[in-house]
Structure 1
Amino acid sequence: MDTFLSPIEQPKGLVMKLVYFFTRRQFGKVLAPLKVHSARLPLAFGMFYGKVSQLDKKLELDPETVMLVRQQVARINICLFCIDTSRFVAIQASMNASRFDALDDYTVSPLFSPAEKALLDYVTELTRDKTVNPTTFSRLPEYYSDRQICEIVWLVASEHLYNITNIGLNIHSDMLCDISKRRS
């Protein structure tokens, strides 16, 4: 049996149940844009996204740090869907949106702690260069445990897969932030 099913061949009931479950849980009643996104992906991706969502809830890192990492990776990879989605999640969770706006200048911004600057330096190098300077890596243990450093790598890797999937399938922003603003 072919493991890659086209959207037409996918079992509609299961896909829509997964989409409804994860979008309802994470995004309230905003379903239409995510249905469109999920309908374009093979079933395996939906299952992967669901597993990532479950794993992210078990991380030691706080949710805002998780979103900062995901946002920085998406910005470097220029994944418009992921940039919009992570920003939407941050807004819905009442995270400080100005910090997401300041990611371009995180190295000099007073909105970021020394720990977050070390984290973002690491994430930026790993994402952009696919390697990390030993000096950059050596700063992480000052602020993060071994487990948290592994979680940071997991976040970069899983976000990269999201980004490459969306870019490869020409999936762009679904304007979730705009929808959220209209509902406020």
Structure 2
Amino acid sequence: MTTRFFLMKENPKAYELLGELDKLGRESNIPRNLQELIKIYASNLNHCAFCIDMHTKEALEIGETLQRIAGVNAWREAPFYSDKERVVLELVEEVTFIHQHGVSDAVYDELTKHYNEKEIGELYVLIATINAYNRLGIMSRLQPKIDK
């Protein structure tokens, strides 16, 4: 499969604006390792190989464990995520598949036990941004480089 186009080249302003949202997410109060797990999980749900590759490498670089990265798709069964992380991963799933039933009251209520309103807003921006990147990557057929 070959890449169709590069948004950065063809529409740099759009790419720049999306990058500003990404920057807001990176500068949030959400721990960096959780930010990367959010990005990996959403990218897995969306089947975006480019983003899975990039965010897995970034997570490893900041010290996230291979076990938690590899296990994120089975977070409900895995013992190595906190309740605070679990509710975020469930939120990622509900936002990524928002067309099915929106974000449930149960997930939102659980979020409020662990995060304040500012942090919930930061989580929303993080999740919406990676979903936008995933969709652009998939539409563009962005391909990760093969490791040697």
Aligned pair partner of 1:115 in 84, 89, 97: 84
The separation in 2 between residues aligned to 1:39 and 1:122, in whole angstroms, is 29
Give the Å deviation of 1:139. Answer: 0.5
Specify whether residues 63 and 53 from structure 1 end up closer, same or farther in structure 2 by C-alpha distance, changes over 3 A only. same
Higher relative contact order (CA closer than 8 Å, sequence separation 6+): 2
Contact kept? 1:73, 1:123, Cα under 8 Å: yes
The separation in 1 between residues aligned to 2:143 and 2:112, in whole angstroms, is 36
How many aligned positions are there?
142
The separation in 2 between residues aligned to 1:156 and 1:53, in whole angstroms, is 10
Aligned pair partner of 1:86 in 44, 55, 60: 55
Higher-Rg member (1/2)? 1
Give the Å deviation of 1:44. Answer: 2.1
Identity of aligned residues (%): 20
The separation in 2 between residues aligned to 1:143 and 1:39, in whole angstroms, is 37
Q: Are 2:11 and 1:42 equivalent residues in the alignment?
A: yes
Q: Where do 5+ consecutive residues of structure 2 fail to align? A: none
TM-score (norm 1): 0.70
Give the Å deviation of 1:49. Answer: 4.7
TM-score (norm 2): 0.85
What secondary structure, in the 3-state scheme, does the structure 1 residue paired with 2:97 have? helix
Q: Are 2:38 and 1:69 equivalent residues in the alignment?
A: yes
- Residue number in structure 1 paired with 2:65: 96
Q: Where do 5+ consecutive residues of structure 1 fail to align? A: 1-35, 180-184
Q: Are 2:128 and 1:128 equivalent residues in the alignment?
A: no
Specify whether residues 132 and 57 from structure 1 end up closer, same or farther in structure 2 by C-alpha distance, changes over 3 A only. closer
CA-based RMSD = 2.0
**Which amino acid in structure 2 is aligned with residue 165 of structure 1?**
L
Give the Å deviation of 1:126. Answer: 1.4
**Which amino acid in structure 2 is aligned with residue 174 of structure 1?**
K
